[in-house]
Amino acid sequence: MIAEWQNHKEQLRSYVSKRIDDPDAVDDILQDVYIKASNNLHQLKSTGSLKGWLYRIAHNTIMDFYRGRQPFEELPDDLVAEERDTGKQAREELAQCLRPLIDELPEKYGTPLRLAELEGMPQQAIADKLGLSLSGAKSRVQRSRVKFREQMMACCDFEMDQEGITAYSRKNPIKHTKC
């Protein structure tokens, strides 16, 4: 390998120096090319393709050099705090609005819906807590959602567009006593 490297070293130096604006980095890149070629010599299919193979390694090493020099901005420290927010506060606020309507459902439907939607409990945990199979818990939660939706539609008028609900208002509470 060393003899073949010596045959191509000067041509590779010229190739790299034309593509790198930092003369001090040229020798570092050539050294990286030699190390990569030595470590991966078993991948070379024939010695006739050695020159092209070395140029491919040199090209990739040059690309790695420029990728490493790309500027980046530090993330602000407060960004980390935002990622830790799991939506718990939003879920609690929504729960305060929805809990009375869920409480109006029969216990068979209200309990699994409360556990799934307000407490964020996984359906397997709901199944375990209520003594149901997983498929039974999934079915119960789905039926609960349907019944809850029917109750919501009976109590409220919703205005919707492509992005979802834009406004809502209570229907006449005299006609709908459960609202």
Per-residue pLDDT reduced to its tens digit, 109-152? 999 998 998 888 999 999 999 999 999 999 999 999 999 888 88
Report, at the CATH architecture level, how domain 88-170 is classified.
Orthogonal Bundle (1.10)
Provide the 3-class DSSP secondary structure of residue 137: helix
Fold that domain 2-69 belongs to in CATH: Rna Polymerase Sigma Factor; Chain: A (1.10.1740)
In contact, 37 and 6? CB cutoff 8 Å: no
Number of DSSP helices (H) and strands (E) in the chain, helices first:
8, 2
Instruction: Assess whether pLDDT exceeds 60 at residue 175.
Output: no
pLDDT at residue 88 in the model: 64
Predicted TM-score (pTM) of this structure: 0.45
Instruction: Assess whether pLDDT exceeds 80 at residue 165.
Output: no
Q: What percent of the chain has pLDDT over 70?
A: 80
pLDDT band at 42 (very low <50, low <70, confident <90, very high): confident
109 or 41: which carries more pLDDT confidence?
Answer: 109
In contact, 111 and 122? CB cutoff 8 Å: no
Q: Which range is least confidently modeled, 27-41, 70-84, 140-154?
A: 70-84
Distance CA 111, CA 134 (A): 15
pLDDT band at 70 (very low <50, low <70, confident <90, very high): confident
Domain with CATH 1.10.1740.10 in the chain: 2-69
Domain with CATH 1.10.10.10 in the chain: 88-170
Arithmetic mean of pLDDT over the chain: 81
pLDDT at residue 131 in the model: 93
pLDDT at residue 58 in the model: 92
Of 169, 168, 175, 123, give the one whose Cα is nearest residue 144: 123
